[in-house]
Structure formats: structure tokens, C-alpha cells
Amino acid sequence: MEIKNYKKDSFYSYSLGAFPTIELLKKHPQDLIKIYVHSSFKNEEVLSLINTLRGNHEIEFNDKMINKLSQKENCFIIGIFKKYNTPLDSNENHVVLVNPSNMGNLGTIIRSCLGFNIKNIAVIKPGVDYFDPKVIRASMGAIFSLNIHYFNNYDEYCKLFPNHVKRTFMLQANKTLQEAVFDKNKLSSLVFGNEATGLDDSLLDNNSIIIRHSKEIDSLNLPSSLAIALYEFSKQTK
């Protein structure tokens, strides 16, 4: 089987770098295809850990393949895996990203979600490909520790999870996060819109929230808004 540079319709993707690859090996061993290591990589501790975790999967020292797949990144270990399907857990809180458009942002958001124990992320299409190696790298491998799933539109998501209280983060909201109350006895979905366009006005209701900030900026950037919301939510519901 010949491994090519990632495309959206590839049935496999890959983790670039030792740390994300170790996360892949720990969390999705069943989906591993193979591991490439650069011949100049000499960290015995990491090699030994990978050897322990790899099960029956092959390690191939292949500098040409590493250079091809890693492109401009400085990277010595790559894990190839079959893309997998992780439905969301209906008994847990969710983050819902409506039409996210930036791969680096999505990776950063995934990492923050794991940092605040939100392990279920809905991505409403159209949205970036969460299995793109750029997302995996920006997440620092955090993506392998949570459930992430596409939905064709927001209604489809809402119909599947009717019991989650939808907290839509919108500049049009009246209630500020600084005053908002989260009920730890109910399931919540923290819902965020696209980087440039936010959420549609039609989603504004009494559960909508704005993160109050000065009038000198139009908005906070998306991963920063998410981080703030996750912090406040986890503080109230832990």
C-alpha cells in the first residue's frame, strides 16, 4: 500500500511528530496502519515507548516518506491511521462548532476542550476536515482522546440531542458570560459560529451568551472565546 500526501477523501490520515503519534498509539491502537521513523531520530526513550505501544504494527525507517508527508514541518515520526468514526456521547456535555473554517483554530480548540474535560465535539458542515494532519498537529494529538463527529446542519444535531441546553455564543446576545449561570444538573451544548460570520440571528434566544469585552475590538478570536467559555463553564459545573 502506497501512502500519499493527505487528501480530504483519503481513507487514512497521519499524525506528524512523536507526541501526537504516541497519543494515537495510546488512544486508537486499533486504527493504526503503520509508523514511519526518520533514521536520524535517536531518542531511545521515545523509540522504546513506541515499540511497546505499536503491537503488531510495523515501524519503518523511511526518510523519503517522512520528508514527503511532513512537507515543511520539522518532524521525525509519523503514524498512519485509518480514519475512524466516533459518535458523540449523549450523556455528556458538548461543544458544537458551526462551520469552522481554520485548521489551526480547530486544533487549538480541540486541545482546549480536552483541557477542560469536554470530550464530545460536533462539527456542523461545511467545516474544515478534522482529520487533516494540520488539525491533528495543532491539537497536539488531543483529537485522539475525544469524540468528534460531523453533522450536515445544526438542526440535525439538535434533533439528535434534544435534551442538551443549547448555549449559543453570539455578539447579538444580551446575557454576558460574566453573569451567566450554568446548571450542572442539565446537559449543555456550547455552540460557536464561524470565525468571520458567527452564528445566524435565528439562533438568538434566552440561552444565548456574549463574552463581554471592550468596544475597541469587534470580537475575540474563536479559540480565545472558546477557551474563556470552557473555563467559566468548567468552573461552574465541575
Stretch that binds a copy of itself, among 45-53, 62-70, 84-92, 212-220 (CB under 8 A): 212-220
Nearer to a copy of itself, 3 or 22 (CB): 22
Q: What is the tally of helices (H) and strands (E) in the chain?
A: 7, 9
The residues, any chain, with a CB within 8 Å of residue 181's CB and separated by 6 or more, are: 236
Nearer to a copy of itself, 141 or 151 (CB): 141
Kindly tell me which residue out of 10, 86, 101, 117 binds a copy of itself, with binding defined by CB under 8 A: 117
Q: Give yes or no for residue 181 binding a copy of itself (CB under 8 A).
A: no
Q: Which three cell numbers stand for residue 76?
A: 521525525
Q: What is the C-alpha separation between 231 and 229, in angstroms, rounded?
A: 5
Size of the site for a copy of itself (CB under 8 A): 29
Kindly tell me which residue out of 39, 71, 178, 197 binds a copy of itself, with binding defined by CB under 8 A: 178
Annotate each residue in 145-164 with x if it binds a copy of itself (CB under 8 A) or - if it does not, as one string: x-------------------
Strands (DSSP E) along 17-89, which ranges?
32-37, 59-61, 77-82
Do residues 79 and 35 lie in contact, with contact meaning Cβ atoms separated by under 8 Å?
yes
Kindly tell me which residue out of 17, 194, 211, 233 binds a copy of itself, with binding defined by CB under 8 A: 211
Rg (C-alpha) for the chain, rounded Å, is 19
Q: Give yes or no for residue 46 binding a copy of itself (CB under 8 A).
A: no
Q: Give yes or no for residue 9 binding a copy of itself (CB under 8 A).
A: no
Q: Give yes or no for residue 49 binding a copy of itself (CB under 8 A).
A: no
- Bridge partners (DSSP) listed for residue 151: 124
Q: What is the C-alpha separation between 161 and 165, in angstroms, rounded?
A: 9
Stretch that binds a copy of itself, among 81-89, 92-100, 189-197, 220-228 (CB under 8 A): 220-228
Kindly tell me which residue out of 112, 120, 188, 194 binds a copy of itself, with binding defined by CB under 8 A: 112
The length of the chain is: 238
Q: What is the C-alpha separation between 195 and 225, in angstroms, rounded?
A: 11
Q: Using alpha carbons, select from 134, 112, 186 the residue that is nearest to residue 16.
A: 134
Residues engaged in binding a copy of itself (CB under 8 A): 108, 111-112, 114-117, 140, 142, 145, 177-178, 211, 213-214, 216-218, 220-221, 223-228, 231-232, 235
